[in-house]
Structure formats: structure tokens, C-alpha cells
A = this chain, B = another copy of it.
Amino acid sequence: MSLLVLGTVAFDTIETPYGKADRIIGGAGTYIAWAASHFYNDIKMLSVIGDDFPQAELDALSARGVDMEGVEVREGEKSFFWAGRYHNNMISRDTLVTELNVLETYEPTLPEAYRDVDYLMLGNFAPAVQMQVINQLPKRPKLVVMDTMNFWMDIAMDELKAVLPKVDVLTINDEEARQLSGEHSLVKAARVIREMGPKYLVIKKGEHGALLFHGSDIFFVPGLPLEEVFDPTGAGDSFAGGFIGHLAKTGDFSFANMKRALVYGSVVASYCVEKFGPTKLKEVTPETVKARTEEFLKLMHVSID
């Protein structure tokens, strides 16, 4: 019944109008695992790090029940490092440094215990690496969710399109949906993208919320208006983690339950952005998840006869 998470485990240096955080813990895999762990505890992490990564951070995930056997540690090499600066709107950002380091030659090998999983979360990674993971699974998981980004559309569109038919749910942002489909209207974009493979499409719109498309159904969850967005890094990954965490917990892939998963993804993403890095995600409790879920429901609830 495990959830396999492929995602980077890395260092980030982040500058926002509110301050700077130097070489803090980051990476899509880190955010996804922390976020998912609030809903589901049988998680197996697949990633690669150098020998510079703090053991305490790996131990903290282990302590939450995340199996770290699949995190390859390369002696004498350095972990992936990204540095970026957010603009005043906290949406657009400049990448200042990208050091691939261990990622440059990464070819994932699934430990034996990772081969029988029911849920697969392919965090943002080179599409070829995402495909290698799929190809090592002897049976198709019950649910495959994939995240990706414009970077791969720019340099590896063919590999990306080769993975899409193997995916149930794709999560991308609005601009990426437009780039992938060549359509400006998100309704049209969603139709084109779902013809490429995924039956479900989630379009993330940052502070403006997220849309879920399936068949002729559309569901929308707003972004929670926050006093302060401190650091948007990892919000999309946290969203994906909460989303698949709820689906893995319930094993219910109906549209009604996918909608709930969209809300839970938004709940954890709303926490993520309140502090630098995954700090806040580590502090979240079942009570705070419940309280914020109620805030979301109140924000969205209207009764018309």
C-alpha cells in the first residue's frame, strides 16, 4: 500500500522581500514527503544526495515514517543546489544559481522493497528519470501523479510527452498548461493535455488557487488569502504532497474525493508559504490541518436554492 515519492532533496538559498535564507533544506521530494506525511505514513523516498546533506534532516523524515532506503548518498559529491530571488509580487523569481551536482548523472535504482507500491508521486524531475522509475515497477501503481515544469518543456518536450500516457494526474501551473497545449484558454488547454494521457489535470495558479479537470467536470479551490506570504518555494510540491497523501490514505479516486484532495493540497501549501523552506510543514499538526481545512470550506461555501 506504499506511496513512492521521486523528488529532489537539496539545498536552496532563497531571497524574498522579507529576508534571505542561506542553504536551507529544500527540494521537491522534501516538500512532498513532509506534506504527504500529514495524511499518510507509508512513504518511500527515492532521491539522490551528496555527502554534504545533514543527517538530522534525513532522520527527521525517517522519524515520520518515511523510508529513506531509496535515497542514494554519493560520497565525495555535492547535493543539488538552487538559489533564487523572488520579486516583490512573490510570484515571479530569478534563478541566481543552479548546481545540478549529483543530479547530473542520476539514474534511479529502486530498492527491492520499493517495487510493490500502490501510489506513485513523480515529483518535478527530468522526464527521462521519471520514466526510469515507471519502467522499474513490475505492476502499474493504482495511481500515478506527476509534476513537471516549463524547464522540461523547453529542453525535453518529447521525453515529457512520452511519460504523460503513463500518468493518471498531471499537476502543472497555468503558464505551463498553456505552453504544453499551445492554447491560451485553460478549458481548451485542459482538453488538449488530457488527450496526451492524464485523465485528471490539476492546473495550479499560485495565490489564485487551483483547478481540477476530469471529463466534463471542473472543480476550483481558491488560494487562502494570507496575512503574509513569506516564501513561496515548495508550495507546488507541498500541494502535490497533500493531494496524493489524502488519496493514498483513502484509496478513493472518485471525482468527489479528488476534490477533497485538492483542498488538502491547498491546506498544506498555505502553511508551506508562511515560513522559509519546509519549516512550517514540520510544525503542522492534525488540529491545524483541521482548522485550516475549515477556513477553506468557509471561504468556498455558498448556499443558493
Contacts and interface: CB of A to CB of B under 8 A. Distances in A.
A96 interface: no
Contacts of A187: 225-227
A interface majority secondary structure: mixed
Contacts of A226: 185, 187
B220 A300 contact: yes
A269 interface: no
B205 A208 contact: yes
B220 A222 contact: yes
A219 interface: yes
A89 to B, nearest CB: 8
Contacts of A260: 302-304
A211 B225 contact: yes
Number of copies: 2
B88 A184 contact: yes
A228 B187 CA distance: 8
B304 A293 contact: yes
Contacts of A229: 185
Interface residues of A, number: 38
B227 A299 contact: no
A188 B293 contact: no
Interface in A276-299: 293, 297-299
Given A90-B184, A262-B302, 10 more contacts: A185-B226, A185-B228, A187-B226, A208-B208, A218-B299, A219-B301, A259-B301, A259-B302, A260-B303, A300-B300
10 tightest A-B CB contacts, nearest first:
A208-B208, A220-B222, A259-B302, A187-B225, A220-B299, A187-B227, A186-B225, A300-B300, A260-B304, A218-B299
25 contacts: A89-B184, A90-B184, A185-B226, A185-B228, A190-B225, A205-B208, A208-B208, A208-B209, A209-B209, A209-B220, A209-B222, A217-B298, A218-B225, A219-B301, A220-B299, A221-B302, A256-B302, A259-B302, A260-B302, A260-B303, A263-B302, A263-B304, A297-B304, A300-B300, A300-B302
